[in-house]
Every structure is written in C-alpha cells, then in structure tokens.
Structure 1
Amino acid sequence: MIRKELRIILLSLGISLLLTLAKFAAYFLTHSVAILSDALESIINVVAGGFACYSIYLTGKPKDANHPYGHGKVEFFSIGFEGAMIGIAGVLILFKAVQYFIIKPELLQIDQGIWVISSTAVVNLLLGLYLARSGKQLNSITLSGNGQHILTDAYSSAALIIALVIIRFTGQTWIDPAVSVVMGVMILRKGYQLMRQSISGLMDETDMQVIDKVIEILNEHRHRTWIDVHNMRVQQYGNNYHIDCHVTLPYYLELSQAHEEIKAFEQLVNRELKGHEVEFFIHVDPCIPALCQYCQLSECPVRSHPFRHKITWTRENVLPNRKHAVD
C-alpha cells in the first residue's frame, strides 16, 4: 500500500512541476498578477508534494524501539507543513495584488494566457479528484490533503479564467488584482483548515466518527460476557489507530478465558473497521454486584441482583472513566 501511495504522490509531484512551469510561462506572456498568484500557489504544490513523498516513505517504516507506535504521526506534520506553505502563498498573493492596485500593469496576450491556464485547470481538476479518491481508498490523509490542495488550485484557476475572459472583452484591468485578492483569501482559508487538521492530529484530538463506528461495531456484535466498556480513548497514527479502554468481565473467569474474550474483542473491531489496523491496550475490570442489573449473562452462577434492562453503549457512557451505574 505504501509503495502505491508513493507512486501516486510522485506522479502528482511531476505533474505539478510541469503545470507550475506552464503557469509562469503564462505570467511572462501576459504580466497578469492573477496568473502570477496562480503560479505561486503551484510552487507550493511542488514543495508540499516533495514533503508528502517523504511523509509517505516514513509512514511505511515499521515500528521500532524509538517509535513504538510507528511513524504515522508524520502525516499530520505533512498536512501542517502544506497548510503553512499555502498560507505563505496566500500572503504573497495578497501583497502582490495590493502592489498592482497601486501600479496598474499593462496586460498582454490575454488569449494565450487563457488557453494555458484553462489547460492547467483541467489537468489539476483531474489530478485532484484522483488524489482525493486514492486518499479515501487507501485511508491516507497525506494523499487526501494533497488532493484537496490541488483541487483548490483548480477551482481558483477556473475563477481566474472567468476573470481573464471578462478583462479580454471589457478591458477593465482592475479586475486582475481584484481577482487576485479573492484568490489570496480563499487560499489562506484552505491553509488554515489544513493547519487545524494537523494540530488536531498532533494533539490527539478524538475523532468522534471513529469512536461512533467502534461503538456501533461493539453494540452489534456484543458478547454477553462483555458487561461494561468505558474509559475509551482513540489515537490515530497514519492509517492505524491505537485504542485504550476498560472492559468489565465476570470476575470468576479464569485468566485464559478472560484472554480469549479480550482477543475476540480486538479481532472483532479489526475485522469490521475495514482499511485500518487497530492496536488495543485493554484494562480488564472484574464485575461487581451493582452491575448485575444490566448484565445479560443469564446463566451467571453468582448473580446477586435480577437483570433490569440492557444498556446501549454510546459515546456518552463509553468515553468517561467510570462504570455504567443504574439508579
């Protein structure tokens, strides 16, 4: 899988480099600041693509003594770096646009510029869609982040084409820096979103969608001996997840029986959470009499209270560090 990701990102890097050269050629033909803005953003595509290559290579390395959870966290550095580069490009674009408001340029060969930018926009659109789809299929946030960036580039190029066509037929050159300002703001927003995603991953912010999926799996395939699950925490390392939780089992189970129950718990989630490898650290709690009220083990030989009702696991009762109590 890692080799496939590398092939995809290397393809993206090569295409981005060619498109960047084409956009700079269009800028030198037309002297359009909006085209220059598009070219500057494409430079970021190339730089970010190079960092993404290294990120995917590092993610594929096995766990070692210094990295017991693997190297997957580097993907969050990758999208953070890409977000920072996008932000820098946005600032440069806004700065250049302000300059062109003050000193109005003479635009040349608009027709050629339109054709060149149109061609790069189509290629970027196809490449961005391919990267986004591949990132989803391979569960790679690096590919997905790179795809989102390139799609943003394609959309901004589309807006640029519209502006160039209007300038071509109206001669209103002020539209050129105005469009550049809009593009700069859009690019800054995308950079912020990627930085936010990076910080969330590095700070181990809980992905509630993953939590909900794991809880859904456990509710659907619940063993009667799994009396209680609580204190669940999820950390993401690239394409892998690390989950800590407490599982309450009948206190009279032998060690080998408890081991088999926990093994079944781990295998269930790994089987149903397709496309991800999940590592568990599970703390086993012995049951207490208060839990009999919702324990579904009808043949329990030590039951001290009658069964009252089943508790459906939700994020509200699985995440806190306490056993589920029934009043």
Structure 2
Amino acid sequence: MTVDPEFLHSQNDDAVNGQLMKRATYAAVGIALILIAIKSFAYFATNSVAMLSTLVDSMLDLAASAINLFAVRQSLVPADRDHRFGHGKAEALAGLFQSAIITGSAVFLLFQAGERLLNPKPVYASDVGIIVMVVSIVLTIGLVLYQRYVISRTRSVAISADSLHYVGDVLINGGVILALILDTVFHWRFADGMFGILIALVLIFSAWKIIRTSFADLMDEELGDEERENIKTIVLQQPGVLGIHDLRTRRSGQQVFIQMHIDMDGSISLRDAHTISDAVEARLMAEYPEAEAIVHQDPLHIDNSRNDED
C-alpha cells in the first residue's frame, strides 16, 4: 500500500500547527498571571483608577486566555461520527465568550472611571506604577509577536481574538504611564479618570472586533474576494478545466472548506474527468494545506451557457 507523500506532509503540518496553537495559549495564560501579580502590587501602591483598569483588563485576559486554551484543544479534536466537519467552531464560540466578558468589565470600568472623574484623588508612588507598566509592555509585546507568528502559520480565530486584546493592552499600558505622569508631574487630577474611560472604550472596541470575527466563522461567511479569486485562478490553471462556477467557501477554525463545479469537455472519459478533478484538489491543497475541497465535474456540452459566475 502506497501512502501519498502530500497527505503525510499535510498531516505533519496539522500536528505542528496544533502544537503551536497550544503553546500560544499556554504562553498567554502564563503572561496574564504574571501581569496580574505585578499590577495588583502597583494598584495598591498608587491608588490609581487607570492602574485598576489595566489590572481588571489583565484579569480579563486571563479569563479569555483560559477559555481559549480549552477552545483550541477542543477545536483540534479530529472529526468524529457526530462532528463530520470537525470541531473548529469551538474557536469562534470562545471568541463570543471573550467578547461578553470584556464588554461587561468595560462597563464596570466606565462607572469606576466616571466616579474618579467626578471625585479626583491623588495618585501615589507613580514611579512604581511606571516601572510596572514598562515591564508589562515588554512582556505583552513579546507575547503578541509570538501570537502573530502562530496566526501566520495557523490562521487561528481564537489566537487572533486573543492577540487583539493583548495589542490593546500595549496601548492601555502606555496610556496608564501617561496618566501617571500627568497626575504626578503636572497635577492634572482628571487625567486618571479620563484615561480610565478611554481604556474602557478601547476594550469595548476590541470586543466588537472579536464579535465580528467570531460571527463570520459561525455564520459560514465566504472567504475574502482576494482568496476566492486566487482559488479560481488555481483551478483554471489546471489543463482540462474549461470553467468554474458555484464556488462556495467557508472557514471553521483553522480548516477551510471549498466546494465548486468545474466544466470539462463532455466527450472525455469518466476516468479522465476524475483524474482532472483530483489534480484540481491537489493544486488547492498545495495552496491551502488546511483545506478540504469537493469538486463536482460538469460536461460542458450539456449546458454551453455556463460561465464563471458564482
């Protein structure tokens, strides 16, 4: 029995990508725990509501990353009898949970920051707060760079959602540093509350982006126009393919599903038609290793009006 080398290569890629995704979730949970510890110390030292905001944000990061850890492990479970298309949508569901947690906490922060804006209080030990924020920024940037690498390899929705709010954390931590400087050096007592509100709004915006990405996956949204055009180009490059229509695509986790009808000369044999469609699938798999392609063959002479419409 001969094993297809391309199949083995695809299986290897899937295993490597799965390990990368798991490591990214472990790294996110670990960094979140470290940030919570140092920010808790900084909050009690400074009495800053902006610092409280970033502490709550890190607690959210921990909750979201923990959900991601479970979702990624679940999404990597192979297809089974009850889940023929795999478990990829677990990533999108995790994204919705993340967005709900983030939105609720952002509303809480709005009330806290609003109260501090109405009743300003001095900030203490700003140097401690600034040092903690700089350390937080360095750790978060390192995590985001690693997540970006994993996303480039896996296109994981869950890791992308996780990375979105860690990118926001870098901006948030920078805002806290600015709020501490304005309060301590320039005695702008309103800076702490104002930056708390801005941070809450950033969190709400991040939650919306996660919701949009998750719904696109759950609602089986088509791949982007550029990717669809690329698929058509790949298919039409195959000798024997005269046209393509009824192209349907969707993404579930890191897996892509592609369905289409291809037009071929109606006078060729069934064996030749099957060989051509297999070649089309091989071309698509070479470009999209995570894809599952279903190709239906249409003899062109039955309907000469066919064209490349979707």
- Look up the match of 1:214: 231
Aligned with residue 261 of structure 1, among 253, 271, 276:
276
Change (3 A) 1:191 1:255: same
CA-based RMSD of the aligned residues comes to 1.8
Which residue in 2 is equivalent to 1:242? Answer: 257
Which amino acid is 1:163 matched to? A
Identity %: 24
Corresponding letter in the other structure for 2:268:
L
* In 1, Cα distance between equivalents of 2:84 and 2:112: 47
- Does the Cα contact within 8 Å between 1:132 and 1:148 map onto a contact in 2? no
* Structure 2: unaligned runs, 5 residues or longer: 1-15
Match of 1:96 in 2: 112
Partners of 2:134 and 2:279 lie apart in 1 by: 55
Contact in 2 for aligned 1:129/1:151 (Cα 8 Å): no
Q: Give deviations 1:36-91, integer Å, cap 9, x for gaps.
A: 01111111110111111111111211111111111111111122222222222221
Paired amino acid for 1:278:
A
Q: Is contact 2:46-2:124 (8 Å) kept? A: yes
Tell me the SS of whatever aligns to 2:238. Answer: coil
Structure 1, unpaired ranges of 5+: 295-310, 312-316, 320-327
Larger Rg: 1
Check whether the contact 2:133–2:177 (CA below 8 A) recurs between aligned residues.
yes
Q: Which amino acid aligns with 2:19?
A: R
Higher percent of residues as helix? 2
Output one character per residue of 1:197-241: Cα deviation in whole Å (capped at 9) or x when no partner: 11111001112232122123224x232x21221011101122211
1:286 aligns with 2:299: yes
Cα pair 2:123 2:184 within 8 Å, conserved:
no
1-side partners of 2:302 and 2:73: how far apart?
A: 52
How many aligned positions are there? 293
Match of 1:308 in 2: none
- Whether 2:241 is the aligned partner of 1:226: answer yes
User: 1:143-187, CA deviations, whole angstroms, 9 ceiling, x for partnerless residues?
Assistant: 222122111111110121112112111112111001111111111
Task: Look up the match of 2:6.
Answer: none
TM-score, normalization by structure 1: 0.84
Cα contact 2:122–2:183 (8 A) shared by 1? no
Matching of residue 82 in structure 1 with residue 98 in structure 2: yes
Query: Contact between 2:36 and 2:55, CA under 8 Å: does it hold in 1?
Result: yes
Residue 289 and residue 258 in structure 1: after superposition, are their counterparts in 2 closer, same or farther (change >3 A)? closer
Q: Displaced runs of 4+ in structure 1, greater than 4 A?
A: none
C-alpha contact 1:34 1:179 (8 A) present in aligned 2:
yes
SS in structure 1 of the partner of residue 267 of structure 2: coil
- 1:247-290 residue CA offsets vs partner (Å, 9 max, x unmatched): 122222222222111111100111123xx322122222221276
Give the counterpart letter for 1:264 in structure 2.
A
What's the counterpart of residue 11 of structure 1?
A: 27
Asked if 1:195 is matched to 2:211, the reply is yes
Instruction: Give the 3 Å change call, closer, same or farther, for CA 148–132 of structure 1 in structure 2.
Output: farther
Deviations 1:288-313 (A, max 9, x none): 27639x9xxxxxxxxxxxxxxxx8xx
Q: TM-score normalised to the size of structure 2? A: 0.89
**2:24–2:146 Cα contact (<8 Å) kept:** no
Alpha carbons 1:55, 1:75 under 8 Å: kept: yes
